[in-house]
Amino acid sequence: MLSSSEFQVIALSLQVAALGTLIGLPVALGIGWLLAKSSIRGKAVLDTLVSFPLVLPPVVTGFFLLWLMGREGPIGGILHDLFGVDVVFTWVAAALAAGLVSLPLMVRAIEVAMSGVDPRLETAARSLGAGPARTFFTVTVPLASRGIVAAAFLAFARGLGEFGATMVVAGNIPGETQTIPLLIFNRIQLGDDSSAIRLIVASLVLALVSLSVHQRLARRIAT
């Protein structure tokens, strides 16, 4: 049976993964559309840049976020000077790490979903006076909605398992930034195998639910 502290860690992990997915979704929608529907130059470069979090060690991604969001960083410095807000070593930083690491998976799934939208429907909307933005939100996104939701669940599942980037940019602070993978690591270090096994089972269940929803939506798209 899970303890109250373990339930709190699970709740925080769900919160982190959900926020990371929400942060990454608008970015993934924009990049997915550019890769699937636009004819801009440099798509291969953009495709390569998006894939970096998949092939780089997660600690490198975490270090990039630490540099970007730290007090001396280009974004973190502005937030601290103007609003007195520090992002690093908070659960928000953990969410940013989860969102960035899962972004390539979400982009790929959204790209596939948008590629399946009949371009003739988008052309018809444009011919009736809809601008690019209106066509995107009223035609492309609704028709690709199942694929977009499936992409979000896939990113959510990936965010639940994020470890390396989270450790670097958010730390392993109990009650604040300690997610399921970090607590499992901590319990293994302490030799508390029973707690580690309980958390592993919990993470497997959460991943199974997320992936099951993703696969069901993916099958509906295929049919």
Domains, the chain, ranges and CATH? 4-222 (1.10.3720.10)
pLDDT of residue 102: 95
14 pLDDT exceeds 80?
yes
Average pLDDT over residues 80-96: 94
pLDDT of residue 162: 93
- Rounded Cα distance between 101 and 14, Å, is 16
% of the chain residues with pLDDT over 90 = 79
Which residue carries 């939100």 as its tokens? 137
Spatial CB neighbours of 200, under 8 Å, sequence gap ≥ 6: 184
The amino acid occupying position 23 is I
pLDDT of residue 213: 85
pLDDT of residue 216: 83
* Mean pLDDT (the chain, rounded): 92
Structure-model confidence comparison of residues 95 and 215, the more confident one: 95
Rounded to 5°, the CA angle 23-28-30 comes to: 115
pLDDT of residue 2: 82
Average pLDDT over residues 201-223: 83
pLDDT of residue 164: 93
In this predicted model, what pLDDT tens digit does every residue of 126-165 receive, in sequence order? 998 888 899 999 999 999 999 999 999 999 999 999 999 9
Say whether 20 sits in a helix, a strand or coil: helix
211 pLDDT exceeds 90?
no
